[in-house]
Amino acid sequence: MHDLLILGAGPAGLAAASYALRKHLDVQLVARDLGGKTNLRVEFPDTQAHQVLRAHELVHGFRNTVEYLSHAHTIASAKSVTAHAGQVDLEITGGTGVTGEAGASRTLSARCLIVATGARPRPLRVPGETEFFGKALGYSSISYSHILAGRRVFLVGDSQRTVDDARELAWQAQEVVLLLHHAGRYESLYREQLAELDNVTLIEGMQVSEFRGGDYCEAAVLTDPEGSEEVIEADAFFVQLQPEPQSALVSEMVETDPEGRIVVDMRNRTTRPGVFAAGDVTNVGFEQILIALGEGSKAALSAYQYLMHRR
């Protein structure tokens, strides 16, 4: 039986694994890949690769540590998690690891668990979206606001968060075109909030039907219920539908909020002793790499304290 299982290898999972290894825990990190959403970077024409966040370098360092220690991680899909009497069992399939055949289903057991499975961006599922992803089209504007100064940005979203992101982008971008879905949840004053900003154009009652471009995405095609079409050209495009927290595996085991995010306290403990959570799967929010690194570190130290006082 391991000391600790960590599900997910984005910034939170990688930081958790690195701290747990530093604490000499017998840790097993289980993920479909290493790096999580940090692998999904968006490029824009005429920007330099070095204009990225410094926190990426830290993620890289943690990732290298974990990658090198092949005994401490398994590339696999998690199928189910069960917990009973101070033990967590994780069924995995399709994986490769130090034990077991590739593709076989097997169970890993540990004395505690950190869930760092993140939140998955929700696509619009329209033509051009997959093709242009990473090429001036992405799922979160917030990490790129510093390189969008003076540019024209198109956002589509369905929550107050996108309204807030548009308001923030308006500080730097030349112009923000914001398409909001009717079915979304906004504050009552969202129209007034946006009307204050003369470089934000709000569009409602339309849908994106297609993304178009050349090497990079260059335009979003919008249609209204009557079928009339509008083409919005921009330098950057972001599809910001509410992301889906990947909490289904543990939703029977720990408390989640109405949006499905795992409820944690200030030390990343869930409502179940021995089960911790960190990063975008939790109700902390914010979706920032540096924050996810801190949260993952805290989860590992909380797990360490839990183990130290139960041996």
Under the rule (CB under 8 A), what is the footprint of a second copy?
15, 22-24, 54-55, 58, 61, 145-146, 164, 167-168, 171, 187, 264-268, 282-286, 288, 290-295, 297-298, 301, 305, 308-309
Q: Smallest distance from the beta carbon of 242 to a second copy, in angstroms?
A: 16
**DSSP 8-class letter at 82:** E
Q: In this structure, what DSSP letter does residue 261 have?
A: P
Residue in the block written with tokens 């154009």: 201
Q: Which amino acid is at 251?
A: S
Least distance to a second copy from the beta carbon of 294, Å? 2
Q: Which is nearer to a second copy, 109 or 305 (CB)?
A: 305
Q: Which is nearer to a second copy, 239 or 293 (CB)?
A: 293
What is the C-alpha separation between 243 and 119, in angstroms, rounded? 6
Nearest to 63 by CA among 12, 138, 121: 12
Cα→Cα distances 257→159, 191, 249, Å: 16, 27, 15
Distance, C-alpha 196 to centroid of its chain: 31
User: Considering the complex, what minimum distance in angstroms separates the CB of residue 54 from a second copy?
Assistant: 6
Q: Name which of 54 and 182 has its Cβ closer to a second copy.
A: 54
CB-wise, 163 or 236, nearer to a second copy?
Answer: 163
Tell me whether residue 24 or residue 125 sits nearer to a second copy (CB atom). 24
Cβ 17 to a second copy, closest distance in Å?
A: 14
Least CB distance from residue 258 to a second copy, whole Å?
16
Nearest to 164 by CA among 248, 242, 70: 242
